[in-house]
Structure 1
């Protein structure tokens, strides 16, 4: 089996860089997407993802002719599904896009082909969703095909190195399928390849992001306790993390991205009787923007309009998927408070209700005349901001969801600062020098 003609379904944050890496390794790759805007950019030789390293490898792959894209699959040797797996409004797993992709590619698959699902999915999706669509075309999914689940390895900001260098979990519906997929990934991935079953691979992927979500929730609870007790949680974290088996994260303003806020719900949906801890962790993390807003209101200053600094869910990226800023916007709207949004990387973002939120790139213009500012994203541009940056505000209240600003200079200039995990700092207060300098940063997504 040559396994040289690759069909990748989904040209998003996972599928497109994966396809480009394979093209760079010498494969003939055909990408498939249903979004006309994405195809227009790709067929013009461009890249719809703003990450520089991804842009470079995608444009090079397109220029080489080894990567092409259209809205229709073609025949090939290896078919890889990299499509979204969202949750519904009531937090149920939605694998309809995976099913649709599998139904589409099943018409182009032939006996002996390798079919791989990379999309993060509920336990059983490979066999009972992808497998069902292949079986509907007359295939015996164990004898006629090699069907596998090999979870994506993408971390925005380090996408290429994550795909190439991370260990890959190879979950085969049969041992033969796992061995074949392992040999395939070895041709463009330098990390280890760990062969297992499809269901174990699916479960392990969900464990990864659920583990992170629960530990971030724990850090946020520690932050709540510290705020109530009148201490800075960072001082306590620095001491706790001296223990050789403890690594407490830092609290923050919420969790975003298309992984951590979504994946735990797949386990809750499938195993509701065992996942109370997961539900509680999700509630804590989704509630963190509301908690931050409640602290702003409790400061006592009149607030009619605020500036939200940061639409991206993670610093120095243009990715606003499931951004915590959306939860903050809902909290502000519920209280009738106006808002403007600033982000140096994001031009606008779509909320779950379909609304497009405009985002400004001029910080001074965004802050002009607002009563308060709430920092939601750890962009480098916000680090160390002092009184001069906020001089155009009508009020003097800053909620620092990432513990980035110069607290000492701001309070000396008459500002009230609300740090996450620490007491509110009035103009006469002196912030701890250790604040923001200890503990492990809990980076979402």
Structure 2
């Protein structure tokens, strides 16, 4: 490990920060820092995104973000560019997708390593490099050893929820892992400027592991709920009723099942542990189970339609974002469900009041349900929860057959039944025959 003893205390002061990556995490972080007095340069290789931000046009649907960005730009503290420049600190907030090349998926560090190469010419001794991107254990140390300068380096994972990013940026506790104590303390200086939550300092590998453990915990527990749903389908039991009753126990908190797990965290991060460890058997099995839920849901639908003898069936997908009330479709299980249905010769139409970008065409509600045989609810948007009897009556008039399949237990089933729909619920063995 490189020695930093010769670096003076005055050089540690952070005044200017360069944030690499202006997506769901980088843009809010850069704007937050600028609004708290730092001189910030936000950098993204996507020229269209940079121009959109300059013109105060955002493609991220996040409450309050536009106001925060406008304030940062108008203050003169935030500038956005396509190339980095010299600064006291560099924060890397770029994607770390999965790399699927046979065998278990692995972390693709391409964007992180590219960001490091891009800032290298601008790095000076005494600078701080911070990584917020989710990465496998020991990656921070590996990158630190690639940089041939006497710098400080730390890892501080983002821990926010889409739809509540600005609130959680401020209120959530933060974990900062330094490659040494001085690096962690210097990074703390930045985050304590806007974080109201507690800030905990540790080493970089522990911080990397903490981030992965948080999302793996959720993934494993969702896998348990999904397996319960499959078992209950076999046993003529409503899994939702069973979970509700089981959770009456003071030490039990079973999560809800669904058509799969999406988003850029829970559906990806556990694989980073599997990649680095020979002892992650349970984690791997849970990830595989959740990855296979879209196919399981699709197969239930296919088998159901075989009984109905409907020629050229059309189904209407309600919701393709990975969770309710957000516009984020990354790793959404809806994509796999749709692909499976198409491969089984279903005509598929899609309606989502929040999604802006998706791999398949998005339709208006009327076009989506016109001459459809079945509605399949894959996302728990409030708009679906709040359908009233008059809304459902109008939907009914446009459909060829009146079937609705609720994979999220989000609909008011009684109202749909009163409107003449046959309602089927994922994990309800009393409505599915398997």
Q: Structure 1-normalised TM-score?
A: 0.89
Q: Is 2:366 aligned against 1:357?
A: no
Shift in Å, 1:287: 1.8
SS in 2 for 1:348: coil
SS in 1 for 2:83: coil
Shift in Å, 1:404: 1.9
The equivalent of 1:353 in structure 2 is none
The equivalent of 2:416 in structure 1 is 410
Q: Would you say the 8 A contact 1:45–1:63 is kept in 2?
A: no
Q: Is 2:201 aligned against 1:192?
A: no
The equivalent of 2:292 in structure 1 is 287
Report the count of equivalent residues: 410
Q: Would you say the 8 A contact 2:94–2:112 is kept in 1?
A: yes
Shift in Å, 1:291: 1.6
The change in CA–CA distance for 1:348 and 1:342 in structure 2 (over 3 A counts) is same
SS in 1 for 2:107: coil
Q: Would you say the 8 A contact 1:313–1:324 is kept in 2?
A: yes
The equivalent of 1:274 in structure 2 is 279
Distance in structure 1 (CA, Å) of the matches to 2:187 and 2:283: 32
Which consecutive segments of 4 or more residues in structure 1 shift more than 4 A? none
2:29 is aligned, of 1, 18, 21, to 18
Distance in structure 1 (CA, Å) of the matches to 2:111 and 2:146: 12
Distance in structure 1 (CA, Å) of the matches to 2:213 and 2:342: 35
The equivalent of 1:443 in structure 2 is none
Q: Would you say the 8 A contact 2:222–2:257 is kept in 1?
A: yes
SS in 2 for 1:357: coil
Q: Equivalent residues in 2 for 1:29-428 (5 A)?
A: 29-90=40-101, 91-128=105-142, 130-135=143-148, 139=149, 144-271=150-277, 273-299=278-304, 300-301=307-308, 302=310, 304-349=313-358, 356-360=359-363, 362-385=364-387, 387-388=392-393, 389-423=395-429, 425=431
Residues 244-294 of structure 1 show CA distances to partners (whole Å, capped at 9, x for unaligned) of: 2111111111111100111011111111x2122222212221222222222
Distance in structure 1 (CA, Å) of the matches to 2:22 and 2:170: 18
- Tell me, which stretches of 5 or more residues in structure 1 are unaligned? 350-355, 427-445
CA RMSD across the alignment: 1.6
- Tell me, which stretches of 5 or more residues in structure 2 are unaligned? 1-11
Shift in Å, 1:132: 3.6
The change in CA–CA distance for 1:382 and 1:161 in structure 2 (over 3 A counts) is same
Q: Would you say the 8 A contact 2:320–2:334 is kept in 1?
A: yes
Q: Would you say the 8 A contact 2:90–2:130 is kept in 1?
A: yes
Distance in structure 2 (CA, Å) of the matches to 1:37 and 1:309: 30
Shift in Å, 1:412: 4.1
Residues 402-441 of structure 1 show CA distances to partners (whole Å, capped at 9, x for unaligned) of: 1122322333444222202213549xxxxxxxxxxxxxxx
Shift in Å, 1:364: 2.3
Q: Would you say the 8 A contact 1:5–1:29 is kept in 2?
A: yes
